[in-house]
Amino acid sequence: MRLLPIVLMAAVALSACTRPDRFGGAGADGMGAGGMGAGAGGAVTTVPGGPGDPNSPEYFNQVVGDRVFFAVDQSILSDAAKVTLDGQAQWLQSHPDYLAVIEGHADEVGTREYNVALGARRANAAREYLISRGIPATRLRTVSYGKERPVAVCSDESCYSQNRRVVTVIAAGAIS
Amino acid sequence: MLKRLLAALMGLSMATLLAAPAMAQQGPLRIEITEGVIEPIPIAVPIFEDEGGAGQLAADIARLAAEDLTGTGLFRLVSRDAYITQTSDFDGAVAYADWRAINAQALITGAVSVNGSALNVKFRLYDVFTGAELGAGLQFNGTTDGWRRMGHKVADAVYSRITGEGGYFDSRVAFISESGPKDNRARRLAVMDYDGANVQYLTDSSSLVLSPRFSPTGDRLLYTSYASGFPRINMLQVASVGSQALTTADGEMAFTPRFSRDGSQIIYSISSGGNTDLWRTDLGSGQHTRLTNAPSIETSPSLSPDGSQIVFESDRSGTQQIYIMSATGGEPRRISFGEGRYGSPVWSPRGDLIAFTKQNAGRFHIGVMRTDGSEERLLTASFLDESPTWAPNGRVLMFTRETQGAAGGPTLYSVDISGRNLRQVQTGAFASDASWGPLQP
């Protein structure tokens, strides 16, 4: 029987949702505001909380890499995706205070509802991989946005390939 | 709210009319919608008579009824400039010769009166060439705020008498109103009249909303909301705009909700562990029942009008295809076998056809097929057409058409099941995912 939410995870979801930029707007997916100035002029400065700080979410997003990409209508992880996810797993191992919401996305070439289901498949593939690399399942939630949250807006493969993605969005929030 | 009063006026029955000899080359006023090619019937709709306090509404209601009818592609309006009489003389004798002279085949006359906010609209329909009234005069009572509904009701009655089919003009459509750039689009749940008028927003744009569906009586809407951060099914009372989230087990995503035909149950998709299956929940008892159990994607369900079967899409064969199974689950049978992928199937309210989205060779189509998969017919083609919804009479489909590129966006279109009369619905902004509600009482 499938009834009633589990209180613990509901609390986790709420804490993740209170971050104002969690499901932010244009290009905000996983790109923390602190990252925008980084590398300007070619010099990466180590600012606490910036991408030069290996303990920062910006480091996770930009240096480790917060996203992996998929072939058309596929949810199989490529070798490149696995390398990125290995890095994510390593980072999450050493930062146990962080939880992750794994977002699955699709390109616009598909029907809306199928794409939600496809995004869920992709997010789950990444989640299963992270679990296989030792991350507790309780730290990882998945959500699918289908084709509703593109990061690239043109209507050809150069954009579609960026939109067929899974983004691991981390948020500090110890499990209590 | 509305009272329908039948007033037998001229005493001419349909049988008498149909037996009447045809004048000129024309037969009795009748359209068989299933005929292959239709020459629109010329109609005259003079400004309705003001029987007291109607003012501009006498003209507005007549114009709206005419717009509804001509919008079907089955009628064309004879220009009012040609009319020998500009305004209805509602109770006077009809000068048929005057209308024959300008080749009007049907004549609609009407009268409007307003008392405070109370609005009364009467109309009569005449077959000009047989020189007789078609059906009895009819009147509708409403409010001045709802004057458009009165125009739609006149048009529904005329459409119904001439085609023998139910009308669809006095109906509401739920949809997703979209605004903002493609990579940061705001979405609001909204309802509007079938023609795009009277848009009412039911949610703000703070969270993503998808796939609204009207209840069979139009009193409630189901939709998918990301307000919790995850897709969840919400049910909203249209009158009070009060909504509630339906409970979902943690770690699961719930989406694609549809009402059962009696409105007491919902069928929907649950995605858990990456796998999407169909479920049913009884709204009264809260009991959940699993309908499919396969490692593939099962989604986009739609119930048959008698509630006994579900059409849905599945990629169990490797690509999206359409299947039908019992409403209680069990072994599905595949009905789509053409080239390409088939998704978002919707069962016709008449029970005879399944509308669907087809994706093939880089194009998207809206199409219909019989429930055994035969007689597939594609009605549209574009960069991206999807998500058909049926008019209450099962003769017209509304769907989403999305244009490509950075500035692209979705708008709603309607098309006859014959493939004729493709029209954009004037929503005034990006709009997607329409759900056509029932004819209003």
Q: A1 to chain B: which residues are within 8 Å by CB? A: 288
Count of CB atoms situated within 10 Å of the CB of A162: 17
Q: B269 to chain A: which residues are within 8 Å by CB? A: 113, 116-117
State the count of interchain CB pairs (< 8 A) between A and B.
147
What is the DSSP secondary structure assignment for residue B136, as one 8-state letter?
-
Cα gap B295→B23, rounded to integer Å: 65
Cα gap A74→B86, rounded to integer Å: 64
Q: Is A127 exposed, middle or buried (0-12, 13-18, 19+ CB in 10 A)?
A: buried
What's the pLDDT score for residue A45? 53
At residue A30, does pLDDT exceed 70?
Answer: no
Q: A148 to chain B: which residues are within 8 Å by CB? A: 185, 187, 208, 210
How far the first Cα of chain A sits from its last, in Å, is 27
What's the pLDDT score for residue B218? 97
Amino acid at B170: D
- The structural domains of chain B, ordered by start, are 3-163 (3.40.50.10070), 171-439 (2.120.10.30)
Interchain CB distance below 8 Å, A26 and B181: yes
Per the prediction, chain B carries an average pLDDT of: 92
Q: Over the stretch B38-73, which tens digit does the pLDDT of each residue have?
A: 789 999 999 999 999 999 999 999 999 999 999 999
Q: B293 to chain A: which residues are within 8 Å by CB? A: none
At residue B118, does pLDDT exceed 50?
Answer: yes
So where are chain A's domains?
Answer: 54-172
Q: Over the stretch B231-267, which tens digit does the pLDDT of each residue have?
A: 999 999 999 999 999 878 888 999 999 999 899 999 9
At residue A49, does pLDDT exceed 80?
Answer: no
Q: Would you list the DSSP string of B115-184?
A: ETTEEEEEEEEEETTTTEESS--EEEEEEGGGHHHHHHHHHHHHHHHHHSS---SSEEEEEEEEES-GGG
What's the pLDDT score for residue B248? 80
Q: Over the stretch B166-183, which tens digit does the pLDDT of each residue have?
A: 999 999 999 999 999 999
| Strand B3-6 to B138-143 pairing | antiparallel
Average pLDDT in the B80-87 region?
Answer: 91
What's the pLDDT score for residue A8? 33
**A46 min Cα distance to partner chain B (Å):** 30
What's the pLDDT score for residue A9? 36
Q: Over the stretch B129-172, which tens digit does the pLDDT of each residue have?
A: 999 999 999 999 999 999 999 999 999 999 999 999 999 999 99
At residue B230, does pLDDT exceed 60?
Answer: yes
Interchain CB distance below 8 Å, B229 and A143: yes
The number of angstroms, rounded, from the C-alpha of A123 to the middle of its chain's C-alpha atoms is: 9
Backbone angles phi, psi at A109, to 5 degrees: -85, 80
ipTM value: 0.91
Q: Over the stretch A122-134, which tens digit does the pLDDT of each residue have?
A: 999 999 999 999 9
Packing angle, helices A112-132 and A79-94, rounded to 10: 60
Confidence at A5, pLDDT banded by 50, 70, 90 = very low
What's the pLDDT score for residue B85? 87
Q: Look at B165 and A10; give whichever has higher pLDDT.
A: B165
At residue B17, does pLDDT exceed 90?
Answer: no
Percent of chain B beyond pLDDT 90? 88
Considering the domain A54-172 in this protein, what is its CATH number? 3.30.1330.60
At residue B11, does pLDDT exceed 70?
Answer: no
At residue B6, does pLDDT exceed 80?
Answer: no
Interchain CB distance below 8 Å, A143 and B181: no
Confidence at A32, pLDDT banded by 50, 70, 90 = very low
How far the first Cα of chain B sits from its last, in Å, is 8
Interchain CB distance below 8 Å, A141 and B344: no
Q: Which two tokens stand for residue A132?
A: 């296989």
Q: B252 to chain A: which residues are within 8 Å by CB? A: 2
What's the pLDDT score for residue A46? 62
Interchain CB distance below 8 Å, A120 and B359: no
> Are B111 and B9 spatial neighbours (Cβ–Cβ below 8 Å)?
no
What's the pLDDT score for residue B247? 75
* Closest to A105 measured CA to CA, from A144, A151, A66, A160: A144
**Cβ-nearest to B344 among A25, A111, A155:** A111
Average pLDDT in the A58-85 region?
Answer: 98
At residue A33, does pLDDT exceed 90?
Answer: no
Q: Is B115 exposed, middle or buried (0-12, 13-18, 19+ CB in 10 A)?
A: exposed
At residue B117, does pLDDT exceed 70?
Answer: yes
Cβ-Cβ contacts under 8 Å for A13 (sequence gap 6 or more) = A141, B228, B229, B230, B250
Q: Any idea what the Cα angle at residue A105 is, between residues A102 and A109, rounded to 5°?
A: 170
Greatest alpha-carbon span in chain B: 73
**A109 min Cα distance to partner chain B (Å):** 8
At residue B103, does pLDDT exceed 90?
Answer: yes
Dihedral sign from CA coordinates of B256, A22, A107, B292? negative
